Amino acid sequence: MTQDITQLSDARVFGGRLLRLRHESATLGCAMTFALFLPPQVEATAGTTVPVLYWLSGLTCTDENFCQKAGAFRLAAELGIAIVAPDTSPRGDGVPGDPDGAWDFGLGAGFYVDATEQPWAAHYRMHDYVTRELPELVEAAYPVNDRRSISGHSMGGHGALVCALRHPGRYKSVSAFAPIVNPAAVPWGEKALGRYLGPDRARWAEWDACALIATATERLPILIDQGDRDSFLEAQLKPQNLVAAADAVGHPVTLRMQPGYDHSYYFIASFIDDHLRHHAAALLG
């Protein structure tokens, strides 16, 4: 399997290694780049494998935003947790972007759904990529095991919630920063779901955390941090909708409104350690 992966870089960080990697994705029909942080424990003892936190980034981001700005690797190294950060969408020649060149759809904005409409269906299958192809690749090629958790920011927070809710038992824990919890009811989501999935709103519910939580067969506790000075809070994020949907069915959700924080990676860096510990409690027992 390693022969199918091209290593772009390898940096030592807090005793571990941060790899930037590229492979040809059969799911997405293009080359995909992702980052993998391996903590020092995998080098300390031969045969050691570690659990993995999958991080899904937001609109316009690549695999590099989290790696450069979140400040997650010091504690991840201490805890012994690997982190995988994929890109946010397919890219390359032949991959369609927004026809108007907008930043909130297409390239950099895959929305972690499996598109069914043309011309998007051939490439925009980020959900299948994140939940199936990428973990299979990483687990076959690197010293990690199948104990997985998932987190993300904004569009990626939406992706993390949907991945966990649609795949009971696949993840040990889930969390999100400023997630789009109800995409079927906000402009970003309406644009993305309408184009990727078509006009039938009943199909959108399959990709909306507020709808999915009602019939979830696993009540995995959800941790959410949200800044109260986030400029997208009222129009795009609406965390109160998820809390209401969760309360209606007894699904455990902790929503922490953080005074004075915005939507940026300064906000993420301020609380990333809490999320890493949340995941470590589930991944490491």
**pLDDT of 176-191, one tens digit each?**
999 999 999 999 999 9
2 has pLDDT over 90: no
Please state, in angstroms and rounded to a whole number, the distance separating the CA atoms of residues 236 and 16: 37
The CA distance from 133 to 137, in Å, is 6
- Of 163, 132, 160, nearest in space to 146 by CA: 132
The answer to whether residue 3 scores a pLDDT higher than 90 is: no
Tokens 């998007």 correspond to: 120
What percent of the chain is modeled with pLDDT above 90?
97
Burial, 21: exposed, middle or buried (Cβ in 10 Å; 0-12, 13-18, 19+)? buried
Q: Is the pLDDT of residue 1 over 60?
A: no
Tokens of 105: 């759809």
57, 89, 154, 175: the catalytic one is 154
* Per-residue pLDDT tens over the stretch 231-252: 999 999 999 999 999 999 999 9
Q: Tell if the pTM clears 0.95, that is, is over it.
A: yes
Report all structural domains of the chain as residue ranges with CATH numbers, in order of start.
Answer: 5-284 (3.40.50.1820)
Segment 188-214, tens digit of pLDDT? 999 999 999 999 999 999 999 999 999
* Averaged pLDDT of the chain: 97
Write the single-letter amino acid at 258: Q
Of 230, 251, 275, 278, catalytic? 230
Q: Say whether 231 is catalytic.
A: no
Quote the distance between the C-alpha of residue 123 and its chain's center.
18
Q: How confident is the model at residue 45 (pLDDT cuts 50, 70, 90)?
A: confident
Amino acid making up residue 235: A
For residue 272, the one-letter residue type is I
Is 173 an active-site residue?
A: no
Q: What is the mean pLDDT of residues 59-86?
A: 98
Active site residue 167: no
